[in-house]
Structure 1
């Protein structure tokens, strides 16, 4: 097939959607498909040599106008070429398939309010968003993407996001295909894993008998670090327990919170890690009480490393879990008692070992190859529809 991929920036080293597009392009090229990339910038060295590049020039200007300008220019450029399938990501339109890996902006905005613990704070935050021109712009752009005259076939990475399309825009489930996110589990293979685990834990000043929960995120507020620290204060001290925090280097606010709660001695702030593999190896489980995640890659990475996952129902990746075998799913990240109880359970060595085995099995059920084949089925469906038209 002749396949066009459309995204403003494709620098795979930056992670996220850009890494995914690079992985997808390489897999498509390996199967002999013609891959065209429509982008404003890219790293050609991280993409297949056979890739056909189409530069989309985007004038400088306010951040909230850039997606409009890229989408308009991309749509115009696509009209000049014929492809079997075109696929867009995030804030763009005019493609046959749209894959919003970050979920719906409308759902994200609603869930962002949940990170505030009380109704007054949520109300004030809602007013602030109502006055934000970027929020207005992105909401209008999203309606154009999905409610315009030429509607795309939508691919999402969880049933949670599929339900959001119906909830916020009335788009029925049969118009939305669920194709799970995936990672390459071989990225986390290491023959010296036990050695690296011991070395990393020694850097954390952790003893062998310590149970360690791992939290990995850049957006600490949205991913629930504040309520996690509140829950940590409720974890009994009769068994040794620590929390390791990896992500954004700015942690002063959370250090103060930990000190105020009397848990500073149980938290290790590790800052940013370009490669967090050793952190996964050193920990005993992942705790990710997020307020919004379409399908957290952090959760998938943890499972691939044999780490059980404690997360919230606001994470699409929770659909992959079978609690209590491979983790736990809590209803509300602000429920400190429920979150503390889920974490404390891992201080039981027998449960910890059994859940680790189950987590590893869960992590192997959905691989990038599964994802790729499911996506090819979607491409084939689009191609047949276009031929019939």
Structure 2
């Protein structure tokens, strides 16, 4: 008897995106569940596919940009599945499926939070998401935070029992509280900040508009005015254009206090170097960097639409560390208060780090594997 056949449909399958890493991980788990796995993609890293003992089928990419390009991918996926009759189709948001849909972003909510207005009519991602989510033809939808789950339930009326939350997991071998003093020294040296300074950092992959770097710099300027006697330094890590933010910092009189690093070779040494990690994002569907900072025992302040804030304890001390992204005055005051009580902040952060075992990568993978085993039993 031949193995059951699972298909994962994702337009771009490259290691440098979070969605690609999730898809590769799912492929490995499906193989463990006894499936033969085919990956349908327009662009893919063939070597990475081969490492996972999966078949890659490249679907021809529509050459013109626009909404039809995504619709075209969906049509090609459906046509391929009609010919090959897979037992299971997993879509990563760009294809309809009767089985499992994994959603990586909330485009409508993001537009409201980042730009303060709805998406324009005909937005290419929204058109397809609306079609797929409104039809509700799938058995189950996977999201990476309760915030995302609440959004699809509210916006599309999806029954709660069809929504499954799979938080991303962190690498406990890399992000932990071991050797904090040595890593703090190495991290400070890497960014050129003396230990006597107070270092507040926003670490992200990029997209500085979404992560509200402008709000961070505005809060930083207000913070310097609130507590002028402290030697403040502000670090932004991420790959995006920084010119306008540098100009903003200079206009506000803190240009010499702001450091930008496009990439960090060893971000694990950076978190202990920070006196405080902040993520004032307008929206962050999860925010793995926040979880990594927590795992390193670094105090955090998070925006109220950052999915990782769901992991903070439901106590007043922690809940007051979840702030509205747009209120830079509150951010300045909260940063000041956290650093003023640095010993207490660090003690709470270290206690939280010891409680994050369920969000280690291995544990989250085990939960996903159990999910796929349940699906295999049902098919």
TM-score between the two structures when normalised by the length of structure 2: 0.87
1:326/1:359 contact within 8 Å kept = no
Distance between the aligned counterparts of 1:203 and 1:98, measured in 2?
A: 41
1:263 aligns with 2:263: no
1:183 and 1:297 in contact (8 A); partners too: yes
Give the aligned partner of residue 238 of structure 1: 229
SS in structure 2 of the partner of residue 247 of structure 1: strand
Asked if 1:108 is matched to 2:110, the reply is yes
Where does 1:56-71 land on structure 2 (aligned, <5 Å)? Answer: 56-71=59-74
Structure 1 pair 32/220, CA: closer, same or farther in 2 (3 Å)?
Answer: same
CA distance in 1, matches of 2:183, 2:232: 20
Alpha-carbon distance change, 111 to 362 in structure 1, aligned in 2, over 3 angstroms = farther
Shift, 1:379, TM fit: 3.1
Q: How does 1:298-309 map to 2 (within 5 A)?
A: 298-309=289-300
**Per-residue deviation, residues 256-286 of structure 1 (Å, max 9, x unmatched):** 2112222223221122346533332422332
Whether 1:153 and 2:112 are equivalent positions in the alignment is no
CA pair 376-335 structure 1, distance change in 2 beyond 3 A: same
The residue aligned with 2:214 is: 226
* Compared CA separation, residues 353 and 308, structure 1 to 2 (3 A): closer
Structure 1 contact 106–168 (Cα < 8 Å) conserved: no
1:44 to 28, 46, 52: 46
Whole-Å Cα distance in 2 between the matches of residues 216 and 2 of structure 1?
A: 40
Q: Match for 1:184 among 168, 171, 178? A: 171
Give, in angstroms, the shift of residue 367 of structure 1: 2.1
Query: 8 Å contact 1:38–1:54 — kept in the other structure?
Result: yes
The alignment partner of 1:202 has SS state of helix
2:33–2:369: 8 Å Cα contact kept in structure 1? no
Please list the CA deviations of residues 295-321 of structure 1 after superposition, one character each: whole Å capped at 9, or x if unmatched: 111212222322232111111111111
Q: Secondary structure in 2 aligned to 1:365?
A: helix
1:165–1:172 CA contact under 8 A, matched in 2: no
- Is it true that 1:5 corresponds to 2:2 in the alignment? no
Once residues 150 and 252 of structure 2 are traced to their aligned partners in structure 1, the CA distance between those partners, rounded to angstroms, is: 38
Q: Please, which runs of 5 or more residues in structure 2 have no aligned partner?
A: none
* Cα distance change, pair 41–336 in 1 and its aligned pair in 2 (3 A): closer
Distance in 2 of aligned mates of 1:261 and 1:107: 30
Which stretch shows the higher mean deviation, 206-215 or 269-278?
269-278
Aligned partner of 2:17 in structure 1 is: 15
Q: Could you say if the C-alpha distance between residues 182 and 334 of structure 1 is closer, same or farther in structure 2, counting changes exceeding 3 Å?
A: same
* 1:369 matched residue in structure 2: 362
- CA gap 1:370/1:243 in 2 versus in 1, 3 angstroms: same
Do structure 1's residue 34 and structure 2's residue 36 form an aligned pair? yes
Match for residue 336 of structure 1 among 302, 306, 328: 328
Q: Which residue of 2 aligns with 1:81?
A: 84
Q: 1:229 to 1:98 in 2, by over 3 A?
A: same
Aligned residues: 369
Contact map agreement 1:7 1:89 (CA 8 A) in 2: yes
Aligned partner (choices 347, 370, 374) of residue 354 of structure 1 = 347
TM-score (norm 1): 0.85
Provide the residue aligned with 1:198 in structure 2: 185
CA distance in structure 2 between the aligned counterparts of 1:95 and 1:213, rounded to whole angstroms: 46
Question: In 1, distance between residues paired with 2:157 and 2:52?
Answer: 42
Equivalent residue for 1:119? Answer: none
- SS at 2:164 equivalent: strand
User: Which of 245, 253, 256 is the aligned partner of 2:244?
Assistant: 253
- 1:117 corresponds in structure 2 to none
User: 1:283 and 2:285 equivalent?
Assistant: no
Q: Which structure 1 segments of 5+ residues have no match?
A: 115-121
Cα separation, 1, equivalents of 2:248 and 2:157: 41
